[in-house]
Amino acid sequence: MTKKVLLFLLMLMMASNFFAINLPDPVITVEEGEEYYVVDAQVEGDYEISVFCNNRQVETPYAIPRLDDDRDYLISAYARLQTDDGCFYSNIVELMVQVPALEEQPQPGPYPPHWPYFQVTEGDRYYTVTAHCIEEGSEYISVRLYCDGILVDNPYIIERTHEDIEYVFEAWAHCDGYEDLSAEMAIVVPALEEPVSGDMNGDKEVGIADVNTLINAILSSNGEEKYDLNGDGEVTVADVMALINLIIWAN
């Protein structure tokens, strides 16, 4: 090869370098999601970008699904510019992306191991019925309460009336993904207990024992309202007389 040819080649190389365009390197980004990792690549300037996942060209943004196990993916990208003087490339940028396995999704809670059950709170004026279920409080478990076939609040408050009333309750335990379980209960809510006039000792009867109780209340200056039989605001001998009259009248 002559010196002239070498010189010519040298000048050609210099000329090609002179016209060469240095493209900026693309930047690969990864957005981590619960189900997908999304890969994208950007470059400053108006250049085409080619992106590859494990050497296979992909469209961007490219969503990589998370699978049952951890996986590594080699992402590579370069920018390209086509001009009349030729095609110019940036460096190839590579990034190893570790995509972890899908996180375990919370499973529905365990099926209620027992049927729903009831709790009855007996009060002087109200009865309260509550339907429970094991594991209640879990977001997957709920309990519905029906009274005589109608959906009611749980707990359900019943006001006692002047008569005994029977109610039939049904409770349904619901757990996502399973069949509902139900239980039934009938209860009689007794009538309000009317106070027995003159019954000072609380045995529901009126007799000589109540006179003793009342006298003791007077002697001990116990002015409880229940001892004020004649309603004059005081507990005195007048109440004893009223009580004796009551006993005589009753007999």
Q: How far apart are CA 121 and CA 54, in angstroms?
A: 68
Compute the least distance from the CB of residue 110 to Ca ion, in Å: 54
Which CB sits closer to Ca ion, 23 or 242? 242
Compute the least distance from the CB of residue 167 to Ca ion, in Å: 32
Distances (CA, A) of 160 to 123, 128, 145, 232: 9, 10, 19, 30
Compute the least distance from the CB of residue 213 to Ca ion, in Å: 7
Which CB sits closer to Ca ion, 170 or 210? 210
Do the beta carbons of residue 191 and residue 161 sit within 8 Å? Answer: yes
Which CB sits closer to Ca ion, 68 or 194? 194
Which CB sits closer to Ca ion, 23 or 240? 240
Which CB sits closer to Ca ion, 113 or 233? 233
Determine the length of the chain. Answer: 251
Compute the least distance from the CB of residue 215 to Ca ion, in Å: 13
Which CB sits closer to Ca ion, 40 or 228? 228
CA angle 41/38/50 to nearest 5° reads 30
Give 104: exposed, middle or buried? Use CB within 10 Å, 0-12, 13-18, 19+. exposed
In which residue are the tokens 């029977």 written? 166
Q: How far apart are CA 120 and CA 187, in angstroms?
A: 9
> What are the residues binding Ca ion (CB under 5 A)?
199, 201, 203, 205, 210, 228, 230, 232, 234, 239
Dihedrals phi, psi of 173, to nearest 5 degrees: -95, 125
Q: How far apart are CA 228 and CA 242, in angstroms?
A: 10
Give 144: exposed, middle or buried? Use CB within 10 Å, 0-12, 13-18, 19+. middle
Which CB sits closer to Ca ion, 138 or 230? 230
Compute the least distance from the CB of residue 132 to Ca ion, in Å: 39
DSSP class of 136? B
Compute the least distance from the CB of residue 230 to Ca ion, in Å: 4
Compute the least distance from the CB of residue 192 to Ca ion, in Å: 19
The Cα diameter of the chain in Å comes to: 151
